[in-house]
Structure 1
Amino acid sequence: MVAWALLALYVLVLLVGPLVVPGDPLAQNAEQLLPPFSPGHLLGTDDLGRDLLLRLLYGGRPLLLVTVASSALAAVAGSALGMVAGFFGRAADGVVMRAMDVVLAFPLVLVAILMVAVLGGGAVNTALAITVSQIPYFARLARNLTLRERTQDYVRAARALGVPPLTILRREILPNLSGALLVQATSTLAVAAGLASALSYLGLGLDAATPDWGYMVKAGQEFMFSNPGLVLWPGLLITVFAVACNFAGDDLADAFETGSRR
């Protein structure tokens, strides 16, 4: 419950926070550089005199957008590929799963870095890079579950009635896989958030001018001892978000497992 409450709080604060705390996260103040706490700046300012609280509020928006978009795209694409591979088998299974094995042969961060290096930076390309790195996990899960479901009586009955294969996948099998895929998608949010932050930290994600938690950690390292909040606050927000996503995924898994037993 705490994890779900934290995720809801994140979404609420990131959407409404900039309206409650108005200001420009890019505005610089040469007279107030790096004080941890100063009048008009609750959390202080960075080395350019930009309000840290405002940058935290605005910096979570691109992370949330990239994380949710990449997880959703990976879930849709990976599940579709896995279901096709598991249902049709043979050639389709061989081609799809060998392609997934190639992607899995590389570390996640390396796959994302290669994609961003080819496509360029920006929120869209970052989301696509993370999507590609996460597709194999959904494909494997969907394939294994489809292999189990395709031997069930309800699938055999649909085939005997002449229902087209794609219709069977969409109407009969997919609803029975949705629970497990939703759990995987929720857990993927944590991985996507870590990858998005890592790419920004390496300077390969969003534009440096855009407030972003990952880049804020990198930019604040130089002033770790004079103003540790520049690193600790964005780092803490990333960590709490990832941990909350993991706990939410575990909670969903327990809920679906309990429901299936009933």
Structure 2
Amino acid sequence: MIAIPVAGRWSRRRLARRPLAAAAWAVLALYAVVILIGPLVIPGDPLAQTSGQLLPAFSPGHLLGTDDLGRDQLLRLLHGGQPLLLVSIASTALATVIGTALGMVAGFLGRGADTAVMRAMDIVLAFPLVLVAILMVAVLGGGAVNMTIAITISQVPYFARLARNLTLRERTQDYVRSARALGVSRATVLGREILPNLTGSLLVQATSTLAVAAGLASALSYLGLGLNASTPDWGYMVKAGQEFMFSNPGLVLVPGLLITVFAVACNFAGDDLSDAFDTRSHR
């Protein structure tokens, strides 16, 4: 009961020493609030064509202007962040679960299981991330579900390799040997003994992967392999606004900047988690 407030004070001190980390967590929290609640606070149809021309920012009734079809840019930005956030979180979560399970089994069982799992992961890693995602979407088709599956497959090997290496280290520890000597099943040892000791490293990897997933989701949408073109999406908005880069640069710069800031914030947050779980930095 005493550890919770102590941990809270320690976290505040750590964030005070790391302003970039504090800013990153604040940005991610702001993204979540604005993307999830923004459409409720500022209601409207992001597909409605309110005018027949391209309006600049600060036009009457359109704070950020409209696109070439007369659709309100602010509404499209608010709604366009939801697919990015949902696809990124879902693919990262799935990659974490699947990759961790495969890596732990490979590291704990060793021999044939280790060889089979790691060679399969090497095959996926032999191709560039974007190429793997593009190939999967090309086979499965577009849409949020298929995008999530494609990004998940491209990220599973990283979690599998991390979990496998950590499991190899943990399985030689005394607490694992004691559990095995007492007749505890392999599944129980993996789930109750080893997994809790991998959580910190896996959380750090997941936070960094969230940035990669957001980039891949945006790239697929930019290439026209993501959601339907009529669905607001930051990646596709960058592509659609390129034609008007010089006459109305905000159509490209604003969604592009939102994607970039989200990815950078995820990376800084991942660095902060890495510091938090590094016991040497607490001495």
TM range, normalised to the smaller chain? over 0.9
Instruction: Measure how far apart 1:260 and its partner are.
Output: 8.1
Pair 88,220 (structure 1): closer, same or farther in 2 beyond 3 Å: same
Letter paired with 1:103: V
For residues 213 and 259 of structure 2, the distance between their equivalents in structure 1, rounded to whole angstroms, comes to 11
Letter paired with 2:132: V
| Secondary structure in structure 2 of the residue aligned to 1:101 | helix
- Please, which of 220, 223, 228 is the counterpart of residue 202 of structure 1? 223
| Secondary structure in structure 1 of the residue aligned to 2:96 | helix
For residues 146 and 220 of structure 2, the distance between their equivalents in structure 1, rounded to whole angstroms, comes to 11
Instruction: Measure how far apart 1:261 and its partner are.
Output: 6.0
Q: Does 1:180 align with 2:209?
A: no
Q: Residues 92 and 206 of structure 2 are in contact (CA less than 8 Å); yes or no, is this contact kept in structure 1?
A: yes
Quick one: percent identity of the two aligned structures? 82
- Please, which of 221, 239, 243 is the counterpart of residue 260 of structure 2? 239
Task: After TM superposition, list the pairs within 5 Å mapping 1:222-233 onto structure 2.
Answer: 222-233=243-254
Structure 1 residue runs of 5 or longer lacking an equivalent are none
Letter paired with 1:258: T
| Secondary structure in structure 2 of the residue aligned to 1:43 | coil
Instruction: Measure how far apart 1:64 and its partner are.
Output: 0.1
- Which deviates more, 20-29 or 73-82? 20-29
Instruction: Measure how far apart 1:171 and its partner are.
Output: 0.3
Instruction: Measure how far apart 1:4 and its partner are.
Output: 0.1
Instruction: Measure how far apart 1:72 and its partner are.
Output: 0.3
For residues 124 and 55 of structure 2, the distance between their equivalents in structure 1, rounded to whole angstroms, comes to 43
Q: Deviation per CA, 1:115-164: give whole Å up to 9, x if none.
A: 00111100010011000000000000000000000000000000000111
- Please, which of 28, 32, 37 is the counterpart of residue 16 of structure 1? 37
TM-score (norm 1): 0.98
Structure 1: 4+ residue segments shifted above 2 A: 29-37, 258-262
TM-score (norm 2): 0.91
Letter paired with 1:179: G
| Secondary structure in structure 2 of the residue aligned to 1:206 | coil
Q: Does 1:67 align with 2:88?
A: yes
Instruction: Measure how far apart 1:69 and its partner are.
Output: 0.3
Letter paired with 2:38: G
Instruction: Measure how far apart 1:114 and its partner are.
Output: 0.6
How many residue pairs align between the two structures?
262
Instruction: Measure how far apart 1:102 and its partner are.
Output: 0.0
Pair 101,119 (structure 1): closer, same or farther in 2 beyond 3 Å: same
For residues 41 and 8 of structure 1, the distance between their equivalents in structure 2, rounded to whole angstroms, comes to 26
Q: Residues 52 and 69 of structure 2 are in contact (CA less than 8 Å); yes or no, is this contact kept in structure 1?
A: no
Match of 1:130 in 2: 151
For residues 126 and 179 of structure 1, the distance between their equivalents in structure 2, rounded to whole angstroms, comes to 27
C-alpha RMSD of matched pairs (Å): 1.1
- Please, which of 120, 124, 135 is the counterpart of residue 103 of structure 1? 124
For residues 258 and 220 of structure 1, the distance between their equivalents in structure 2, rounded to whole angstroms, comes to 47
- Please, which of 25, 40, 43 is the counterpart of residue 4 of structure 1? 25
Q: Does 1:78 align with 2:99?
A: yes
Task: After TM superposition, list the pairs within 5 Å mapping 1:39-58 onto structure 2.
Answer: 39-58=60-79
Letter paired with 1:173: I
Letter paired with 2:116: V
Letter paired with 2:85: L
